[in-house]
Amino acid sequence: GDVAVLVPAAGAGVRLGPGGPKALRLLGGEPLLVHAVRRIAAAPSVHTVVVAAPAAEVDAVRRLLDPVAPVLVVAGGAERQASVANALAAVPPGPAIVLVHDAARALTPSALVEAVAAAVRAGHQAVIPVLPVVDTIKEVDADGVVLGTVDRSALRAVQTPQGFRREVLAAAHAAAGDPLTDDAGLVEQQGVPVFCVPGSEYALKVTRPFDLTLAEQLLAAGH
Ligand code: CTP
Ligand code: MG
Check residue 26 and give its pLDDT: 98
Q: How many helices (H) and strands (E) does the chain have?
A: 7, 12
60-72: pLDDT as tens digits:
999 999 999 999 9
The interface pTM score, or ipTM, of the predicted complex is 0.99
Which stretches of the chain score pLDDT less than 70?
A: none
CA of 145 to the centre of ligand 1 (A): 31
Atom of ligand 1 nearest to the CA of 77: 8
Check residue 45 and give its pLDDT: 98
Nearest bound ligand to CA 23? 1
Check residue 137 and give its pLDDT: 97
158 SS3 class: strand
Contact 200, 44 (CB under 8 A): no
CA of 169 to the centre of ligand 1 (A): 19
Check residue 152 and give its pLDDT: 95
pTM: 0.98
Q: Which domains does the chain have, with CATH numbers?
A: 3-220 (3.90.550.10)
State which residues have CB under 5 angstroms from ligand 2, the bound ion. 11
Look at residues 177, 156, 151, 173 and name the one whose alpha carbon lies nearest to residue 164. Answer: 173
Which residue of 39, 49, 80, 107 sits with most ligand 1 atoms within 8 Å of its CB, as the best mutation to test the pocket? 80
Check residue 163 and give its pLDDT: 99
